[in-house]
Structure 1
């Protein structure tokens, strides 16, 4: 039996009575029974999210931003530390579950085989799905601080909840690749936010955005590979392919579309944020050099 230290430790954090009393619909995906398992319920949740953040934004007009209050700073710190630890534990649990499948059946089966969608992995997918609603609190902190809301932020948070919903509904075995990479990035990202809330200098802000872009590049390579094999095996068997991939077609299409949009939006964000900053620094340096040369030339003329 494979060793599962992350899973064993995580389970030990909960009382035995609670573990034994958990209903099956919280451990397995049952459409219409598991909370937020219908398109109507998740759409309503996203509408509530949008209404809440824009409502708070309206209420904050004319008010001083939060951020310096001790309770607010503590809540922000706890939120980020909890998501850092939670993401790390869930990442460890998922890798422990998929590793024996990869070792025994190979990478293609781990990505595409129906057997890679185990009952325990489904539970982890559900937990990750609920993490997406917890992460919506990120936006509430932003609006309370009166930070500008960027389209990328709101779209990414809303669309990711829908993406996780579609993959759970469609039972796409490739899901673990995308989720594990996302969790790894979130460990880095939320740890960065936690450190900044403590006023600890963090030089890797740019690395967080870079890691997100790299994540989407890998995601797209894997999901397009899986989708191609499914399409070739199902509709164009004369094309070279390894085999078929488990999962519903609508889930594969939504995954490809959503992740592709993320890649382009994050690249655009990177260019706006870091290229613009680099150009501003270069311009300031050039102006400083020109000014210094002007003083130098003026001094020389005076001396003459």
Structure 2
């Protein structure tokens, strides 16, 4: 969720029902070198709690030092990213790359746990490839060195985000009698029905939502409502979609400034207005308009132009 799960995005997710949130992952090397972009990612706010700060890296000493720096930002949780599959992270031995060296993964986790007083959690994958799906053993070993919860994405690093997530191994971790920490499942959950199916079928303690929330923070309340009532909430109205866009952009401008605020909000626009008929022209304008006042004016125009589409969305 690099350049996605920043404070503006998290504020909307919290407002729409997210129970626990994590920051974008932060480079350990960037933190210990006081790199501006990495340090800015430590920003968390009281309304977000409980919130975890996620770090990644491939050097044990750097990760231990970064964890100590992270603790000073006073998160509720310090999370270690052992799941990112992208080449420039994994192929340097960080993120999912460490799944090729399980002893180092365990040692690194142990050192981080000892370096901080905050609860430490881990996000990881089933393994590096189909021949190294050691997650049941890995979860035991990470629990033994002190992590307080584990989130598992049901794919290997080699799969990236292709194919279907395999939750059966996540269930094996959850049902392992030696495991007593919470186990959270992740992968392919993009509807309330899927969320309930995964929870009931695999018995996980919770579900982590990533890509499905981009531009659609309403998914959290939709899932919780479905869990509680068995009924689906209607989709957000056009007014709600436009209002979310306005809030997101306003907070992005305040937090990142005009240039980055405009640029990094663009990736959310397509999903905010996904499924709206005859929207292509406006979508193009949203992702090319460079001045905040012009974007806000465009959002006003969109709200007026599409006032009657709520029935179509339903």
TM-score, normalized by length of structure 2?
Answer: 0.24
* Structure with more helix by fraction: 1
More strand by share: 2
Q: Relative CO higher for 1 or 2, CA cutoff 8 Å, sep ≥ 6?
A: 1
TM-score by length of 1: 0.24
